[in-house]
């Protein structure tokens, strides 16, 4: 790459064995840039902001409470930031460039993205510009409130997302993960243009953002566009000042069992295990991958457990498990349709206890390691998957290729030790959605 | 066999599609057969045996599907597998992959009387019945599904979910085994491969075909497939489904005779109808999104889709009950505006770019490549995706307005909280 004053550092990270590499650039503005070349038709770009639904209560530099945001603020911002000063909407501008733009909010971040097959430069400039140059008008915020209220109601009618939300609420006492990403119809009433401007100036700083581009993009060109938008127009600089208010989350669950009635045909069971959070020094790629493999060995469609549940006619063919693992929370949720909720819970618990007592078979460990390895490699067949994987890595300060080398070197003994640490003292919550009469 | 060599992917895909042209068939039997076949084979006798084996092949994906294109029905099995170069022990996966498709389709698990296992048949019956009934769990998808179902009632080979449920409950191990033998007797099939090492895939498929020929199980595909034009009803069917919901789910259905492969329909008309759909409700710059959502704030989602095989254009939205008439009228009004030729240069250009984007990104996915090239080549045209893009770029606003005039409103489905006194009666 040509030398540019605005580039503070750059580093190439590669994994020749799988024919992949990317360039990491630290930009003068504070923005971290990652360019992953890929010979695909679609180039995918993500701008990730470290501001999510869990960022609600803040203290100042002296530890005094100074800001309390209504639930759903980050998500509301995600909806409204596409509007420009001249009244135009960036969604439409992307459309005019033949690009597909979108955005989403999670518990710990807000993500703005586009994918395009042409006009990459114009699209990237648009992405950087609209995220750093907000325009919040009262009348459009009022209108957006109605749209978001409809989005909230849409999820309320979906029993599967309702069950998952209720499960997280049942597991946690204080952790802000228990609050809905989109907020509630009531909480979004309190969000105003002032709220959004305050959040933008506090949290949408270049140093709190990462830009990931995967596809046909020239790094030098990317930097020149970043220079133009992030230096010349001088968006907010500096570091985030406010810190999230700390809280103590008990290891137990808030509620062991919740039943909700909805107009469905067959009961839906969501079973959650609240797992202990690792000490910062224990958090590692090895541990994350071990947890993935444990889920695979316990709950995949290849296990004895699945055979017992499915062949026994206890569950629907679909039986899914998902692991949520962050620096201050960890849980596994299992979901299926069943008329035999208590029997299914008992069989799952017994299976886990049996594995805790006897350990995993070498054969099943190797089988699941191959699955984990193949799933990681499959990521590299899609610019979208690579970009999303890179964001996961960035949030956890990790090199994505290390996941591949690590899964190859994982041992059964290590995975079993993580299994015992996390599952021996697991805490359980159950949510059952039952049919109304 | 169709082969597309591409060095873009670390995973290759191979699929086999059996053409059901010589038998009486329907959704119930097709779904049951695929369900039972995937429960276990003669060699891998349980679902967990089969899945465990696939896991050892670097998480090879084995999928089955039913396809129906205007009276032409197929049963398909496909695999996606890691290229040998990227396995950590140099395992070559083409041969075991083709073998597992062959095993699934031609070496099923049968009991001593030569019938499918009764336990698997009964279990799959229950699973399918549960799955059909569970459609109502997701009201957003259910409204759309019922709307499409209503518009498909007069199409050849149509079977309603209610009829399918009845048919499934009467299926026995004997009747399903008989159906299976009809399917595979001298079946004609086509294979499609996308990946970096076609030589190995072709060789593995040739070995399978040799073995099938010896068993007399190979027919030939017809030289020409016949695709039937859709039936356009003259009346609008309106259906109110009473379910307790927080948000009313509205699905409005339209039909056009402009479908893929129908007599007298040109590719240009299809491109014009695709553009019409984009302008109407295809994305964030469509008339529905901008007017119903952005300007009037009536919903979170309101968009349309167009099936080039069935001619169905389906608009779906989640709204406040009180706004139902307003939203429905607005949807119709936006379509009327296109019929009148109210299409700006920007709208047309944006729609063209959106479709160009969609067709260009086909080359980034083995599944999309197969879907585009296999079915188009079989039924209609050998045009490449770049030729399709060129065709789309040549469409004018007048062509789009003309396409809009061919569209007829056929159905309106609304899921809403049960009627109270004074409201229109529910009819499901």
| Chain B from 49 to 88: CB within 8 A of any A CB | 51-52, 54-56, 58-59, 82, 86, 88
Of B48, B249, B298, the CB nearest to A304: B48
Question: C-alpha angle with apex A223: A219 to A225, nearest 5 degrees?
Answer: 115
A377/B82 touch (CB, cutoff 8 Å), yes or no? yes
pLDDT of the residue at B157: 84
Q: Give the residue from chain A lying closest to B346, CA to CA.
A: A96
pLDDT of the residue at A394: 94
- Confirm or reject contact between B300 and chain A (CB < 8 A): yes
Instruction: Name the CATH topology of B2-214.
Output: Cytochrome Bc1 Complex; Chain A, domain 1 (3.30.830)
Domain parsing of chain B, residue ranges = 2-214, 237-416
pLDDT tens for each residue of B152-183: 998 888 899 999 999 999 999 999 999 999 99
Same fold for the pair A7-244 and A257-435: yes
pLDDT of the residue at B11: 96
Q: How far apart are CA A84 and CA A134, in angstroms?
A: 7
Using an 8 Å Cβ cutoff, are B266 and B299 in contact? no
Which residues 6+ apart lie within 8 Å of A54 measured at CB? A107, A108, A175, A176, A177, A179, A244
pLDDT of the residue at A79: 95
pLDDT of the residue at A245: 76
Sign of CA dihedral A353, A354, A358, A360: negative
A51, two tokens: 């501001």
Of B133, B320, B353, the CB nearest to A266: B133
pLDDT of the residue at B217: 63
Count Cα atoms within 13 angstroms, Cβ side, for B223.
0
Domain A257-435 has CATH 3.40.190.10: no
| Chain A from 103 to 162: CB within 8 A of any B CB | 115-117, 143-144, 146-148, 150-151, 153-154, 156-160
Q: How far apart are CA A156 and CA A165, in angstroms?
A: 10
Query: Which chain B residues are Cβ-neighbours of A94 within 8 angstroms?
Result: 284
Separation in Å, CA of B58 to nearest CA in chain A: 5
Dihedral angle, C-alpha B387, A102, B288, B409, nearest 10 °: 60
Task: Name which CATH class applies to B237-416.
Answer: alpha beta
- Confirm or reject contact between B322 and chain A (CB < 8 A): no
Of B48, B353, B363, the CB nearest to A307: B48
pLDDT tens for each residue of A342-364: 999 999 999 999 999 999 999 99
Q: What average pLDDT does range B320-341 have in this prediction?
A: 95
pLDDT tens for each residue of A263-302: 998 899 999 999 988 877 777 899 999 999 999 999 999 9
Direct distance between the N- and C-terminal alpha carbons of chain B, in angstroms, rounded to an integer? 47
Q: What average pLDDT does range A208-230 have in this prediction?
A: 95
Q: How far apart are CA A188 and CA B267, in angstroms?
A: 48
Task: State whether residue A47 is helix, strand or coil.
Answer: strand
Neighbours of A358 (CB within 10 A): 8
Helix%, strand%, coil% for chain B, nearest 5? 50, 20, 30
Split at pLDDT 50, 70, 90, the class of A235 is low
Query: Which chain B residues are Cβ-neighbours of A377 within 8 angstroms?
Result: 10-11, 82, 86
Q: What does R_g of chain A's alpha carbons equal in angstroms? A: 23
- Confirm or reject contact between A94 and chain B (CB < 8 A): yes
A94/B284 touch (CB, cutoff 8 Å), yes or no? yes
Domain parsing of chain A, residue ranges = 7-244, 257-435
- Confirm or reject contact between B335 and chain A (CB < 8 A): no
Q: Kindly report which listed range (A81-90, A239-248, B98-107, B361-370) carries the lowest average pLDDT score.
A: A239-248
By C-alpha distance, which of B268, B290, B270, B286 is closest to B278? Answer: B286
pLDDT of the residue at B222: 62
Q: Considering chain B, what is the average pLDDT of its residues?
A: 91
- The DSSP code sequence of A382-412 is -HHHHHHHHHHHHHTT--HHHHHHHHHH--H
Query: Which chain A residues are Cβ-neighbours of B8 within 8 angstroms?
Result: 39-40, 381
Among left, alpha and beta (phi > 0; psi -120 to 50; other), residue A224 is: alpha
| Residues composing chain B | 428
pLDDT tens for each residue of A112-157: 999 999 999 999 999 999 999 999 999 889 989 999 999 999 999 9
pLDDT of the residue at A87: 85
Q: Give the residue from chain A lying closest to B352, CA to CA.
A: A98
pLDDT tens for each residue of B91-121: 999 999 999 999 999 999 999 999 999 999 9
State ipTM: 0.90
- Confirm or reject contact between B130 and chain A (CB < 8 A): yes
Split at pLDDT 50, 70, 90, the class of B147 is very high
Separation in Å, CA of A71 to nearest CA in chain B: 19
B52/A302 touch (CB, cutoff 8 Å), yes or no? yes
Query: Which chain A residues are Cβ-neighbours of B290 within 8 angstroms?
Result: 92
At A151, phi and psi to the nearest 5?
Answer: -65, -45
Of A95, A160, A368, the CB nearest to B285: A95
Q: How far apart are CA B119 and CA B45, in angstroms?
A: 12
Count Cα atoms within 13 angstroms, Cβ side, for A220.
4
Q: Considering chain A, what is the average pLDDT of its residues?
A: 93
pLDDT tens for each residue of A218-228: 999 999 999 99
pLDDT of the residue at A2: 60
Domain A7-244 has CATH 3.30.830.10: yes
Task: Tell me the pTM.
Answer: 0.93
Using an 8 Å Cβ cutoff, are B257 and B292 in contact? no
Direct distance between the N- and C-terminal alpha carbons of chain A, in angstroms, rounded to an integer? 67
More confident residue, A279 or A402: A402
pLDDT at A239 over 60: yes
Which of A40, A90, A114, A117 is the mutation pick for testing B, counting most B CBs within 10 A? A117
């Amino acid at each position: 790459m040509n030398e540019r004053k605005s580039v503070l550092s750059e580093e190439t990270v590669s994994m020749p064995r799988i024919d992949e590499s990317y360039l990491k650039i630290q930009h003068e503005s504070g923005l971290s840039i990652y360019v992953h070349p890929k010979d695909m038709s679609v180039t995918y770009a993500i701008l990730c902001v470290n501001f999510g639904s869990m960022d609600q209560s803040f203290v100042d530099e002296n530890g005094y409470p100074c800001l309390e945001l209504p639930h759903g603020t980050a998500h509301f911002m995600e909806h409204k930031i596409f509007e420009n000063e001249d009244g135009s909407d960036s969604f439409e501008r992307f459309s005019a460039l033949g690009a597909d733009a979108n955005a989403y909010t999670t518990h710990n971040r807000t993500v703005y993205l586009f994918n395009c097959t042409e006009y990459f430069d114009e699209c990237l400039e648009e992405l950087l510009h609209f995220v750093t140059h907000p325009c919040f008008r009262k009348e459009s915020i009022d209108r957006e409130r109605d749209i978001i209220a409809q989005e909230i109601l849409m999820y309320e009618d979906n029993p599967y997302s309702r069950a998952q939300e209720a499960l997280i609420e049942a597991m946690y006492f204080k952790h802000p993960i228990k609050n809905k990403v989109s907020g509630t119809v009531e909480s979004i009433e309190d969000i105003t243009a002032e709220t959004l401007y305050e959040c933008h100036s506090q949290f949408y700083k270049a140093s709190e953002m990462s830009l990931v581009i995967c596809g046909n993009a020239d790094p030098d060109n990317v930097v020149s566009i970043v220079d133009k938008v992030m230096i010349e127009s001088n968006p907010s600089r500096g570091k985030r000042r406010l810190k999230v208010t700390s809280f103590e989350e008990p290891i137990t669950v808030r509620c062991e069992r919740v039943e909700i009635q909805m107009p469905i045909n067959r009961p839906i069971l969501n079973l959650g295990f609240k797992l202990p959070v690792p000490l910062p020094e224990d958090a590692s790629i090895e541990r994350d991958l071990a947890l993935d493999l444990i889920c695979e060995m316990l709950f995949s469609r290849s296990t004895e457990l699945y055979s017992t549940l499915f062949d026994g006619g206890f569950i629907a063919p679909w039986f899914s498990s998902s692991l949520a693992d962050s620096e201050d929370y960890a849980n596994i949720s299992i979901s299926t349709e069943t008329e035999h909720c208590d029997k299914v819970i008992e069989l799952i618990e017994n299976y886990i206890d049996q594995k805790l007592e006897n350990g995993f078979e070498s054969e099943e460990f190797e089988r699941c390691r191959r699955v984990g390895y193949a799933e990681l490699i499959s990521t590299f067949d899609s610019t979208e998957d690579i970009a999303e994987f890179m964001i996961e890595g960035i949030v956890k300060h990790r090199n994505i290729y290390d996941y591949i080398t690590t899964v190859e070197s994982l041992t059964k003994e290590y995975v079993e030790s993580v299994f015992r640490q996390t599952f021996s003292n697991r805490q359980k919550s159950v949510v059952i959605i039952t049919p109304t009469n | 066999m169709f082969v597309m060599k591409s060095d873009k992917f670390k995973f290759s895909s191979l699929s086999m599609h059996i053409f059901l042209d010589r038998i009486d068939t329907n959704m119930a039997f097709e779904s049951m057969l695929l369900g039972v076949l995937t429960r276990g084979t003669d060699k891998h006798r349980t679902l967990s045996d089969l899945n465990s084996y696939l896991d050892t092949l670097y998480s090879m994906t084995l999928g089955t599907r039913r396809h129906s294109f205007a009276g032409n029905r197929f049963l398909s099995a496909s695999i996606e597998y890691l290229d040998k170069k990227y396995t950590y022990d140099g395992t070559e996966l083409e041969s075991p992959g083709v073998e597992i498709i062959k095993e699934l389709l031609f070496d099923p698990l049968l009991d001593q009387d030569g019938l499918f296992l009764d336990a698997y048949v009964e279990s799959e019956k229950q699973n399918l019945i549960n799955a059909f009934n569970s459609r109502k769990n997701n009201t957003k998808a259910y409204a759309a599904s019922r709307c499409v179902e209503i518009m498909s009632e007069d199409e050849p080979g149509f079977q309603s979910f209610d009829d399918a449920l009845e048919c499934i409950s009467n299926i026995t191990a004997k009747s399903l085994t008989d159906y299976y033998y009809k399917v595979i007797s001298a079946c004609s099939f086509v294979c499609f491969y996308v990946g970096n090492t076609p030589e190995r895939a072709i060789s593995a498929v040739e070995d399978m075909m040799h073995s099938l020929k010896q068993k007399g199980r190979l027919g030939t595909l017809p030289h020409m497939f016949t695709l039937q034009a859709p039936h356009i009803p003259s009346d609008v069917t309106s259906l109110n489904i009473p379910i307790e919901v927080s948000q009313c789910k509205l699905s409005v259905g339209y039909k056009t005779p402009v479908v893929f492969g129908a007599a007298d329909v040109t590719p240009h008309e299809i491109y014009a109808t695709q553009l019409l759909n984009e302008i109407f409700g295809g994305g964030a710059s469509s008339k529905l999104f901008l007017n119903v959502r952005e300007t009037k704030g009536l919903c979170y989602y309101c968009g349309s889709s167009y099936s080039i095989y069935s001619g169905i254009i389906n608009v779906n939205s989640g709204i406040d009950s009180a706004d139902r008439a307003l939203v429905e009228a607005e949807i119709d009004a936006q379509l009327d505006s296109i019929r009148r030729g109210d299409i700006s240069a920007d709208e047309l250009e944006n729609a063209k770019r959106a479709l160009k984007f969609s067709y260009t990104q086909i080359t980034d996915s083995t599944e999309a490549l197969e879907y585009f090239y296999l079915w188009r080549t079989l039924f209609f045209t050998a045009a490449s995706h770049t030729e399709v893009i060129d065709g789309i770029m040549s469409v004018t606003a007048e062509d789009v307005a003309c396409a809009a005039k061919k569209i007829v409103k056929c159905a309106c489905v609304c899921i809403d909280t049960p009627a109270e006194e004074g409201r229109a009666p529910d009819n499901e």
